[in-house]
Amino acid sequence: MDLTRKSALVTGASRGLGRALAEQLAAAGARVVLVARSEAELTRVVEAIRSKGSEAHALVADVSRKADVYPIAGAAAELVGPLDLLIHNASSLGPTPLRLLLDTECEDLSSVLETNVIGPFRLSRAVAGSMALRKTGTILHISSDASVNAYERWGAYSVSKAARDHLSRLWAAELAERGVRVLSVDPGEMDTQMHQQAMPDADPQSLTRPEQVASRIIQLLCDSSVPSGSRVEAQSWRTA
Amino acid sequence: MIAASQSSQSAEHTPIRPARAAQRGFQPERLLVIDPLTYRFGDYRIAELPRLLGPGDVLVVNDAATLPASLQVDADLELRLVSTQPDATFRAVTFGAGDFRQPTELRSAPRALRLGERLQFRADLAATVVDIDATDSRLVRMRFETSGAAFLRALYAHAKPIQYSYSAEPLQLWDVQNRYASRPWAFELPSAGRTLTFEALFEIEKRGATLTHVTHAAGISSTGSEQLDARLPLGERYEISDAAAEALGRARADDGRLIAVGTSVVRALEGRADSDGVVRSGRGETNLRLSSSYQPRVVNGLLTGLHEPGTSHFALLEAFAPRQLLLRAVEHAAKTGYLQHEFGDSCLILAGALLDRLVA
């Protein structure tokens, strides 16, 4: 995939990995729409990208709200054209400090699933039909090692990421013959605000910078040898 | 399958029952197939559409997503967006007090807008009236004060989808999108595509037909004024992709049939076709009006909704089948409980669709 003039949408793009992905996609020549809830943070990121001469647009929206889905999908297609790339990066940990399942409120699990699974399903549903019609496009789900490992206290997030991985495989299976590639990437532990919230005692020096992970993910997107339906660990993956 | 000649009456018809519109989870399934070649019609299911098409045929959909195009200024004034102009202004029609439960023709007359008047919809959405139509003051052109992401965010936050008086409850934006929708160019749902599932679309391709798309900015269907309705559709922009032009060229070379999903697709393709019937890729605007006197140059068949005789939609079907055949088919539809309007059942008008060798 050559990213020049490609239209891309990244959710959770105001900080961390989402921000790094949006910046690097834009630097590679893509036309990028950034989605996040925080207007002030998002505007700063978009202005920084534009100041380097790249194209970026800020859409303030909440991917967990059904009412926001068509406004996101419609505005993005209007701003940069029918989408070539959709990156589901936005995620919620639920309440922090993280809790044992026995201490997890049912409503908190629902709301994490709404942001991490149902929201991405809805947005893909609003975007992937056009990709299937045009027989082109890539959908990328940002996963976590918590989707395969049962870490204590990561319950709600962990369950949602396991479901997100399987959602990725299901989209891949159903769109296999439609020219739409669907991937899931485990970014590994990164020095981000989310990681700080989940594990406040971790030494930031021991963590990978989100910019480094983003650059690996961009290589992965451009490498057509990684088949649709794959789940890739970004930090151990190497280009062939 | 029913031979039309068996139908008893002709001019007198039973009105079609209004569709149970916008009931969440309701998926219309019936497909009335009308064949002007054999002069027959028959009852099918949308799921059977794939077997009525075959190798060489091309099904063209309109991939425009639907914008929320109804903007309330205050309790007594609503604006409905109709089209985007090349100078980035919007054409709009004004409506007076009333809500979606009232048919548009029963709404009170809106107050007259003044040239240069500023309309404040909400804190971050305002527009200026830059033109008022000479013959109908309800038709205006306006320029919004913002553009890009800021404009779209405010528009999506403030505006509602255009509503239909037969709806049981207000339509949400989610209710007025086709499954393959992309850029939000349409001001009302291009509703013919609403019954198409991807199950059916994938099957159509598996059987050797080609699926392609145009993007057409379908405008509003009704203004409540006879005089203004008579001018619809106003000019509508469209885009024909390279892939679509190529598919249409192949169909033309191989004598494949070209089936439009919705009259907006017919307008885009017929509006674009040159005198030899060649459709080139690119953007344009069309004022094409379909009627019994219009002879389609490139489109062979039409998948569309069901509408009563006397409506403008019924009149434009006459470009594809003789009036008498349509009347009999529609009478049959009414008697056998087909659902009409934007959220109802479908009808396919295609010459040869019901030849015995094809539907055996």
Strands B236-240 and B282-286: antiparallel
- Chain A residue numbers with beta carbons less than 8 Å from the beta carbon of B184 are 74-75, 77-78
Average pLDDT of span A174-194: 95
A132 at B interface, C-beta within 8 A = yes
B113 vs A189: CA distance, rounded Å: 59
Tell me, what's the pLDDT at B213? Answer: 97
Tell me, what's the pLDDT at B160? Answer: 95
- Chain A residue numbers with beta carbons less than 8 Å from the beta carbon of B148 are 57, 79
B218 vs B64: CA distance, rounded Å: 8
- pLDDT, one tens digit per residue, over B115-130 is 999 999 999 999 999 9
For A128, which residue in chain B has the nearest alpha carbon? B180
Tell me, what's the pLDDT at A230? Answer: 96
Burial of A204 (0-12, 13-18, 19+ CB in 10 A): exposed
Cβ distance B184 to A78 less than 8 Å, yes or no, reads: yes
Please give the ipTM for the structure prediction. 0.94
Task: From the candidates A157, A161, A182, A218, give the one annotated as an active-site residue.
Answer: A157
What share of chain B has pLDDT > 70, as a percent?
Answer: 91
Tell me, what's the pLDDT at B264? Answer: 95
Tell me, what's the pLDDT at A212? Answer: 96
Tell me, what's the pLDDT at B123? Answer: 96
For A39, which residue in chain B has the nearest alpha carbon? B150
Tell me, what's the pLDDT at B6? Answer: 43
Q: How far is A19 from chain B (nearest CA, A)?
A: 18
**CA A211 vs CA A144, B51, B160, B177: distances in Å:** 17, 51, 40, 37
3-state secondary structure B111-162: CCCCCCCEEEEECCEEEEEEEECCCCCCEEEEEECCCHHHHHHHHHHHCECC
In the chain, the amino acid numbered B306 is L
B123 at A interface, C-beta within 8 A = no
Average pLDDT of span A203-213: 94
Q: How far is A24 from chain B (nearest CA, A)?
A: 21
Cβ distance A130 to B180 less than 8 Å, yes or no, reads: yes
The torsion angles phi and psi of A80, rounded to 5 degrees, stand at: -125, 0
Q: Say whether A70 is catalytic.
A: no
B347 vs B326: CA distance, rounded Å: 11
Tell me, what's the pLDDT at B99? Answer: 77
Cβ distance A126 to B149 less than 8 Å, yes or no, reads: no
B181 at A interface, C-beta within 8 A = yes
In 3-state terms, what secondary structure has residue A138?
Answer: strand
Q: How far is A228 from chain B (nearest CA, A)?
A: 19
Tell me, what's the pLDDT at B8? Answer: 43
> Does residue B315 or residue A89 have the better pLDDT?
A89
Q: How far is A64 from chain B (nearest CA, A)?
A: 14
Beta strands in A42-103 (DSSP E): 55-60, 85-88
pLDDT at A238 exceeding the cut of 80: no
Optimal mutation site among B58, B67, B156, interface A, most CBs of chain A within 10 A: B156
Residues of chain B scoring pLDDT < 50: 5-11, 22, 360
pLDDT at A65 exceeding the cut of 70: yes
Cβ distance B149 to A57 less than 8 Å, yes or no, reads: yes
Q: How far is B200 from chain A (nearest CA, A)?
A: 13
CB of A182 closer than 8 Å to CB of A228: yes
Number of neighbouring beta carbons within 10 Å of residue B120: 12
CB of B302 closer than 8 Å to CB of B321: no
Strands of the sheet with A55-60, listed across from one edge? A55-60, A31-36, A7-11, A85-88, A138-142, A181-186, A231-233
- pLDDT, one tens digit per residue, over A153-169 is 999 999 999 999 999 99
Optimal mutation site among A66, A70, A130, A136, interface B, most CBs of chain B within 10 A: A70
pLDDT at A122 exceeding the cut of 80: yes
A82 at B interface, C-beta within 8 A = yes
Cβ-nearest to A71 among B148, B156, B198:
B156
Cβ distance B183 to A75 less than 8 Å, yes or no, reads: no
B177 vs B168: CA distance, rounded Å: 18
A34 at B interface, C-beta within 8 A = no
Tell me, what's the pLDDT at B332? Answer: 94
